[in-house]
């Protein structure tokens, strides 16, 4: 009888302790546990500190914007992005901007896209200098709407240049008006 009572008490303690955790869970370094109501706000992709002109260079919001899809299929307004998904066909990476104003932006970096996948550009993008221009206003924000490659990589053949031009015709994505 004593054994049965003792076994029952042990079983009761085990059942009541089930699901209770006395110690903190192991979290990756730098993270903290959040309750369901304490979710953090989403952040912009690395290299783009966020929308509304707080992008790649960290400079103040002056000049027109680009509509960047890097890490966000819905896109966000950005200025001086380091990583810039310009259209569904074309991406600029490792960008450094020499000039950024209301009318024009000039910079250098790398370009790749669907138009050069057969050339292996995903692993070895082409070096270019680019100029963004033709600002348009959408819902009170000015966006560049075209780009021109002003200097091509020596390794970029005429055939690949033609494929780039054919892919998006130098047009940049801009948001649709609400």
In this structure, are residues 79 and 107 in contact, taking their beta carbons and an 8 Å threshold? no
| Closest C-alpha to 107, from 72, 73, 59 | 59
pTM assigned to the model: 0.67
| Closest C-alpha to 175, from 133, 142, 128 | 142
Whether 42 shows a pLDDT value over 90: the answer reads no
DSSP 87: S
Of 45 and 178, the one with more pLDDT = 178
Number of H helices, E strands in the chain: 2, 7
Whether 50 shows a pLDDT value over 80: the answer reads no
Whether 39 shows a pLDDT value over 70: the answer reads no
Whether 51 shows a pLDDT value over 90: the answer reads no
Q: Distance between CA atoms of 133 and 125, rounded to whole angstroms?
A: 23
Q: Distance between CA atoms of 88 and 126, rounded to whole angstroms?
A: 18
Tell me the two tokens of residue 51. Answer: 């929308």
Look at residue 178 in the predicted model and tell me its pLDDT: 77
Look at residue 114 in the predicted model and tell me its pLDDT: 96
Average pLDDT, integer, range 154-164: 93
Q: Where residue 61 falls among pLDDT bands split at 50, 70, 90?
A: low
* CA neighbours closer than 13 Å in the CB half-sphere of residue 22: 3
Distances (CA, A) of 34 to 25, 70, 75, 79: 12, 27, 28, 32
Whether 167 shows a pLDDT value over 70: the answer reads yes
Whether 177 shows a pLDDT value over 50: the answer reads yes
Q: Where residue 53 falls among pLDDT bands split at 50, 70, 90?
A: very low
Look at residue 62 in the predicted model and tell me its pLDDT: 84
Helix (H) or strand (E) holding 131: strand 126-138
Q: Distance between CA atoms of 132 and 148, rounded to whole angstroms?
A: 7
Average pLDDT, integer, range 96-122: 96
């Amino acid at each position: 009888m004593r054994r049965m009572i003792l076994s029952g008490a042990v079983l009761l303690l085990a059942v009541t302790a089930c699901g209770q955790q006395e110690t903190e869970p192991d979290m990756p370094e730098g993270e903290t546990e959040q309750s369901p109501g304490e979710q953090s706000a989403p952040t912009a992709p690395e290299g783009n500190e966020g929308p509304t002109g707080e992008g790649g260079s960290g400079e103040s919001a002056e000049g027109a914007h680009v509509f960047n899809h890097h890490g966000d299929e819905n896109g966000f307004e950005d200025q001086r992005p380091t990583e810039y998904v310009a259209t569904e066909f074309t991406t600029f990476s490792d960008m450094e901007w020499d000039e950024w104003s209301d009318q024009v932006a000039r910079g250098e970096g790398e370009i790749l896209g669907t138009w050069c996948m057969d050339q292996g550009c995903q692993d070895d993008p082409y070096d270019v200098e680019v100029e963004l221009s033709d600002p348009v206003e959408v819902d009170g924000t000015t966006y560049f709407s075209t780009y021109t490659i002003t200097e091509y990589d020596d390794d970029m053949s005429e055939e690949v240049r033609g494929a780039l031009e054919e892919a998006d015709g130098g047009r940049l994505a801009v948001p649709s008006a609400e």
